[in-house]
Amino acid sequence: MNNSSIIAIAAALAIAISTLGPSIAQGMTAKSAMESIARQPDSAKDIRSSLIISLALMEALTIYGLLIAFMLISKI
């Protein structure tokens, strides 16, 4: 196995691992938000805004993994 194939595998793992955690967390967060809105419909606006902020922060983790993968691929 040469150096470029190891870098390609590392880039693929960087994307896979950095996507797995935030995707599970986003699903759990959305589920909890929908349950909270179902229980307290009056506070839906506050819950929704908190949900959007937290989903954006989770998505940033995935983007960092993509950035690392691009940096690794540029070394091939």
Structural domains in the chain plus CATH codes: 3-73 (1.20.20.10)
What is the rounded CA–CA span in Å between residue 40 and residue 35?
9
Q: What residues contact 40, with CB distance under 8 A and at least 6 apart?
A: 47
Q: What is the pLDDT of residues 20-66, one digit of tens each?
A: 989 999 999 999 999 999 999 999 999 999 999 999 999 998 899 88
> d(Cα 57, Cα 61) in Å, to the nearest integer?
7
Q: Give Rg (Cα) of the chain.
A: 18
Angle at 24 (CA atoms; ends 5, 53), nearest 5 degrees: 110
CA dist 55 and 64 (Å) reads 15
pLDDT of residue 76: 78
